[in-house]
């Protein structure tokens, strides 16, 4: 599409002796929805976690809007405009919905009331439940809250780790509709999914990861019709 | 608390007393100045906070149980160091420090009006609680709660884990230092041997009984704990209460009953008396309103939970 927003070059992540990500390179362009698909243990989450600064990459480069972010801590990466919706939602169960959103905007010093309104417009359910404790929400609502919380930092790039995990198919559909809507409003999205079908239908570009390496890449359409992908991830 | 108590005692004790032989019998006191009552009290908190900051750097790399064990270890180390003879000129070794302003001699600043001891303690702890409340309800406090709930998510939101843990450690130590100074004023004397692990456990017990995560719970917990220990159960220690032949009422029996009560509380109130809820006018009202609502629900058969 247009400018490269995020450029990953030969990224490697190690946990002790185990090499989870063995040199991954890809680009995310501004305004796109990009998806990484792959089986369990392919290194998708590790890739996202190292971009978010939760894990230090052992080699490689992470360039975001021209700045080298390799090995920076999570605080400065969130400040730069990258945010992560962590796997399994991980909302703050003992905080209210509104407090959860406020924590999402923790690093900001400006007025956040407009953004709270923005999140409430995207997820009217959250507004209804703004005084409820996060832990009392249903799975789908918690996922909405996790997305809303991430949006509160006004990210340029939102990374989502398995947003469909453990949710009913109908709710998964809702979540993907909202992902598209958020993207339309100018947030670039990097998504990892095991639900490859849904992810590829939504995405502009996709990469297939296998045991720490990218083995295939293409547009969402191309990957959807690729015989290898069909056999391995789409179950047909 | 030990640091706070010592700082307060050493700084506040009048200089002529320090130079005399009544308190520093075996050492020559090295601290040859004294400060007023309020500066000493404040510095008691500050010194505790500074030490906490230093201890926090290695200790906060640990998690949960290990963190608790390591801090307990440091508490023992500090106690031992304060009893060390080489530090005698400052800490008076293992001997008692006394002669500083105690609770019965607190005057309103610049006047000769005595403040009643109970009132003073209430005032000071009320002030501390107010500061803590303000802190918790700020965005800073929200970050603390977020870390408590989920460290990974908090980090992903850009909250610097180490910085915030260190801050919370330092802030709580500041208040512990002040409470140490209060304890010194209450006891009239300071001695390192008072601050054994048993004391740490007592404080921990108060918090657990009251409810971790609840300020009003901690207040209720400390009242109950002290009242049971020192007041309500005293009659169990009186051997004059014994019915002929039964000899169970004797000094120390109070402690037995007390431990049973604590076990019962821990068994039936897993999260402490208050849990993580606060005692507020609104909550008390809700409690009564909630009962009414529950009645209505059971009549109408429609629940809104």
Q: Do A74 and B150 lie within an 8 Å CB cutoff? A: no
**Cβ(A152)–Cβ(A102) below 8 Å:** yes
From first to last of its 305 residues, chain B has per-residue pLDDT tens of 677 677 777 777 776 666 666 666 667 676 767 777 788 888 888 888 988 888 888 888 887 788 888 888 888 888 888 888 777 777 777 777 777 777 777 777 777 777 788 888 888 889 999 998 899 888 888 899 899 888 889 998 889 988 999 998 899 889 988 888 888 888 888 777 777 777 888 888 888 888 777 888 888 888 888 888 777 777 777 766 666 666 666 677 777 888 888 888 888 877 777 777 776 767 777 766 665 555 544 443 333 33
The minimal CB distance from B146 to the residues A95, A150, A153 is found for: A95
How does the average pLDDT of chain A come out, rounded? 90
What is d(CA B207, CA A75) in angstroms, rounded to the nearest whole number?
Answer: 32
Q: Do A149 and B157 lie within an 8 Å CB cutoff? A: yes
Q: What is the pLDDT of residue A98?
A: 93
Q: HEC states along B66-116?
A: HHHHHHHHHHHHHHHHHHCHHHHHHHCCCCCEECCCCHHHCECCCCCCECC
CB-based contact, B143 to chain A, within 8 Å: yes
Q: How many CB pairs under 8 A join A and B?
A: 70
Residue B70 exposed, middle or buried by CB count within 10 Å (0-12, 13-18, 19+): middle
Shortest CA gap A156–chain B (Å)? 14
Mutate which: A46, A48, A74, vs B, most B CBs within 10 A: A74
By CA distance, what is A151's nearest residue in B?
B157
**Cβ(B214)–Cβ(B271) below 8 Å:** no
CB-based contact, A214 to chain B, within 8 Å: no
Mutate which: B157, B162, B213, B282, vs A, most A CBs within 10 A: B157
Q: ipTM of this model?
A: 0.85
CB-based contact, A155 to chain B, within 8 Å: no
Could you give the angle at the alpha carbon of A194 between the alpha carbons of A198 and A34, nearest 5°?
Answer: 60
Answer yes or no: is pLDDT of A166 > 80. Answer: yes
Q: Do B158 and A153 lie within an 8 Å CB cutoff? A: yes
**Tokens, residue A18:** 């185990």
Backbone phi, psi, residue A176, to 5°? -70, -35
Q: What is the pLDDT of residue A78?
A: 93
CB-based contact, B137 to chain A, within 8 Å: no
CB-based contact, B238 to chain A, within 8 Å: no
Q: Do A83 and B150 lie within an 8 Å CB cutoff? A: no
Q: Do B157 and A106 lie within an 8 Å CB cutoff? A: yes
**Cβ within 8 Å of B, A 30-59:** 52, 54
- Using pLDDT thresholds of 50, 70 and 90, give the confidence band for residue A48: very high
What is d(CA A230, CA A225) in angstroms, rounded to the nearest whole number?
Answer: 7
Q: Do A91 and B157 lie within an 8 Å CB cutoff? A: no
For residue B276, the chain A residues in CB contact (below 8 A) are 94
- Using pLDDT thresholds of 50, 70 and 90, give the confidence band for residue A82: very high
* Exposure letters B109-127 (e unless 16+ CB within 10 A, then b): eeeeeebeeeebbeebbee
What are the structural domains, with CATH classification, of chain A?
Answer: 4-91+153-234 (3.40.50.300)
Q: Do B158 and A78 lie within an 8 Å CB cutoff? A: yes
CB atoms within 10 A of CB B100: 25
Q: What is the pLDDT of residue B201?
A: 81
**Cβ within 8 Å of A, B 12-31:** none
For A172-216, the pLDDT digits (tens) are 999 999 999 999 999 999 999 888 888 998 999 999 998 889 988
**Cβ(A91)–Cβ(A99) below 8 Å:** no
For residue B278, the chain A residues in CB contact (below 8 A) are none
Q: What is the pLDDT of residue A180?
A: 93
CB-based contact, B303 to chain A, within 8 Å: no
For B147-181, the pLDDT digits (tens) are 988 888 999 888 998 899 999 889 988 998 888 88
Q: Do A104 and B276 lie within an 8 Å CB cutoff? A: no
Q: What is the pLDDT of residue A235?
A: 65
**Cβ within 8 Å of A, B 62-121:** none
Q: How far is CA A14 from CA A57, A190, B23, in A?
A: 7, 22, 61
């Amino acid at each position: 599409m247009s400018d490269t927003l995020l450029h990953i070059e030969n990224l490697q992540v190690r946990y002790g002796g185990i090499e989870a990500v063995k040199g991954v390179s890809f680009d995310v362009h501004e305004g796109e929805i990009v998806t990484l698909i792959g089986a369990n243990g392919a290194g998708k989450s590790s890739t996202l976690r190292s971009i978010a600064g939760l894990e230090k990459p052992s080699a490689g480069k992470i360039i975001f809007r021209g700045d080298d972010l390799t090995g920076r801590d999570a605080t400065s990466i969130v400040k730069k405009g990258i945010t992560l919706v962590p796997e399994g939602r991980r909302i703050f169960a003992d905080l209210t919905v509104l407090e959860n959103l406020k924590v999402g905007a923790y690093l900001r010093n400006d007025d956040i009331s407009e953004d709270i309104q923005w999140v409430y417009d995207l997820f009217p359910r959250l507004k209804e439940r703004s005084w409820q404790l996060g832990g009392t929400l249903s799975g789908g609502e918690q996922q909405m809250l996790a997305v809303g919380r991430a949006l509160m930092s006004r990210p340029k790039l939102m990374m989502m780790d398995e947003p469909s995990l453990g949710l009913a198919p109908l709710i998964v559909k809702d979540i993907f509709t909202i992902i598209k809507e958020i993207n339309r409003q100018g947030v670039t999205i990097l998504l990892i999914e095991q639900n490859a079908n849904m992810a590829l239908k939504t995405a502009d570009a996709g990469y297939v990861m296998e045991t720490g390496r990218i083995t295939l890449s293409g547009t969402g359409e191309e990957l959807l019709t690729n015989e290898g992908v069909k056999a391995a991830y789409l179950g047909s | 608390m030990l640091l706070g108590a010592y700082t307060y005692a050493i700084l506040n004790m009048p200089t002529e007393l320090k130079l005399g032989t009544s308190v520093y019998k075996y050492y020559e006191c090295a601290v040859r100045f004294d400060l007023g009552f309020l500066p000493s009290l404040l510095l008691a908190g500050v010194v505790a906070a500074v030490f906490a900051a230093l201890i926090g750097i290695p200790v906060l790399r640990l998690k949960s149980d290990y963190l608790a064990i390591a801090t307990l270890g440091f508490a023992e180390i500090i106690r031992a160091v304060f009893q060390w003879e080489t530090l005698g000129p400052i800490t008076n070794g293992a001997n008692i420090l006394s002669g500083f302003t105690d609770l019965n001699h607190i005057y309103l600043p610049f006047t000769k009006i005595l403040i009643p001891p109970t009132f003073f303690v209430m005032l000071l702890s009320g002030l501390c609680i107010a500061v803590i409340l303000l802190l918790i309800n700020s965005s800073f406090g929200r970050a603390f709660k977020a870390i408590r709930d989920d460290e990974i998510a908090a980090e992903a939101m850009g909250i610097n884990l180490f910085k915030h843990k260190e801050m919370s450690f330092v802030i709580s130590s500041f208040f512990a230092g002040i409470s140490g100074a209060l304890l010194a004023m209450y006891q009239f004397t300071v001695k390192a041997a008072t601050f054994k692990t048993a004391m740490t456990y007592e404080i921990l017990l108060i918090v657990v009984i009251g409810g971790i995560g609840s300020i009003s719970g901690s207040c209720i917990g400390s009242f109950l704990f002290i009242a049971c220990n020192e007041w309500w159960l005293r009659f169990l220690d009186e051997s004059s209460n014994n019915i002929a032949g039964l000899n169970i009422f004797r000094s120390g029996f109070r402690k037995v009953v007390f431990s049973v009560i604590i076990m019962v509380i821990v068994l039936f109130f897993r999260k402490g008396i208050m849990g993580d809820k606060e005692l507020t006018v609104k909550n008390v009202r809700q409690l009564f309103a909630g009962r009414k609502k529950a009645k209505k629900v059971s009549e109408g058969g429609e629940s809104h939970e």
